[in-house]
Structure 1
Amino acid sequence: MTRWLGIALLPSAEHRTTAIRLQREVGGDHVLHPPLSPDGNLPHVTVFQGPFLDSLDPAAELDRIVASVDAPERIGLASPGVVYQPTGWVFLALERPPLLDRIQQVTLKALEPYLDRAAFDPAKDVSRFTPDERESFERYGYRYTGPAYAPHITLGRAEESVAEELVRSAPERVGIPVDWVFDRFSFYVMGENGAHAEILEERALVPR
């Protein structure tokens, strides 16, 4: 059976609350989906997500990843602001320091043998993907790896014209924090639109 799972960085408790509030403020009169919440769809930065075989052991692989990445206890990332991503996505963009590239590379090396490539969607519309995003999707079944990696917190999705207007007007309507802190890894179950629906395994950034 295929399991749709992901690995993510989770924000500190303070910044989790900030991200949930930011989704509501950016959405304004429009509800961005899926709604973020502290006990449901958690704000997160995806490292990788996709379809996996049953032979994957999330606990063992997350332990291996944490032991290999040599991360600090907390990762601080700056945000250049809210951005639009086709089609209909509203992202809080984040910087991409070498540490995040290393985390993704270690994660891909650990998880690639367990990818259920038969579950990749050959009919997916990739017409608005960049060339790097198309290559990433073809190789891993996920849009944002390697050169296409784009660290972000997903604030939600809306009709395309609505999402574009929300992003355009956000700087005038909303105070968008620049600095964000992340202090945990999560192996999670994917929900609506790839949301962080359920924690399977959680670890501090530094092995204990």
Structure 2
Amino acid sequence: MTSWLGVALLPSPAHQTAAIRLQNDVGGGLALHPPLSPDGNLPHVTVFQGPFLDSLDPSTELDRIVTAVGTSRCIALASAGVVYQPTGWVFLSLERRPLLEKIQQTALEALTPHLDRAAFERSKDVSQFSDEERESFARYGYRYTGAAYAPHITLGRAEETVARELVRSVPGRVHVPEGWVFDRFSFYVMGESGAHAEIVEEVALATRAGSGSPSGVRTR
């Protein structure tokens, strides 16, 4: 059976709250969908997502990713602003640090053997994808890998002209925090429009007391 799952970085509690508030502020009374919530659709930065075969063990692969990346500290990322993404998407864009590229490459190496390629959405309209995004989608079934990788928190989706206008009006209307902190990795069930609907596995980033050595702390 095919399972639609993803790997993500989750923000610290304070920045989770900030992301939910930012979605509301950017929407300005016009609800962006799906709504972010601390009890359901969590704000997150997707590392990779797609359809997987039963051969995938989320616990094993998440541990492998965290161990290979070798970071024990929370990951701080600078905001690159609220941006529009075809079609109808509103993103909080984040800096693309080499560490994030390493995280995604590690995830791809671990997860690619378990992809259910027969479940890729071959009929999806990719006419507004960049060349790099089309190549990524064809190879992995996910738009943002390799050269097309675009770290972001999805703030939601709206009708095309509405999304463009909301993004255009952000400067001077909405305060966008300059820095964001992420303290957990998660394996999650994909919901509406790829949302982070349910945690399957979660590993907190922590440092073993007194040693400074990496130690992933499983919180679920």
What is the aligned partner in structure 2 of residue 207 from structure 1?
A: 216
What is the aligned partner in structure 1 of residue 180 from structure 2?
A: 180
Matches of 1:50 and 1:2 in 2, distance apart? Answer: 10
Matches of 2:6 and 2:172 in 1, distance apart? Answer: 34
Matches of 1:72 and 1:149 in 2, distance apart? Answer: 23
User: Which runs of structure 1 show a deviation greater than 6 angstroms over 4 or more consecutive aligned residues?
Assistant: none
Whether 2:12 is the aligned partner of 1:12: answer yes
Matches of 1:80 and 1:6 in 2, distance apart? Answer: 23
- Check the 8 A contact 2:72/2:216 in 1, yes or no: no
- Check the 8 A contact 1:73/1:204 in 2, yes or no: no
RMSD: 0.7
Matches of 2:142 and 2:175 in 1, distance apart? Answer: 31
What is the aligned partner in structure 1 of residue 22 from structure 2?
A: 22
Q: Aligned residues: percent identity? A: 74
How many residue pairs get matched? 208
**How much has 1:155 moved relative to structure 2?**
0.2
Segments of 5+ residues of structure 2 without an aligned counterpart are 206-214
Matches of 1:29 and 1:12 in 2, distance apart? Answer: 26
What is the aligned partner in structure 2 of residue 164 from structure 1?
A: 164
Matches of 1:130 and 1:80 in 2, distance apart? Answer: 19
Matches for 1:1-208 after TM superposition, within 5 Å: 1-205=1-205, 206-208=215-217
Letter aligned with residue 138 of structure 2: E
Letter aligned with residue 71 of structure 1: T
Matches of 2:40 and 2:33 in 1, distance apart? Answer: 13
**How much has 1:72 moved relative to structure 2?**
3.5
The SS at the match of 1:87 is coil
- Check the 8 A contact 1:92/1:155 in 2, yes or no: yes
When normalised by structure 1's length, the TM-score is 0.99
Segments of 5+ residues of structure 1 without an aligned counterpart are none
More helix by share: 1
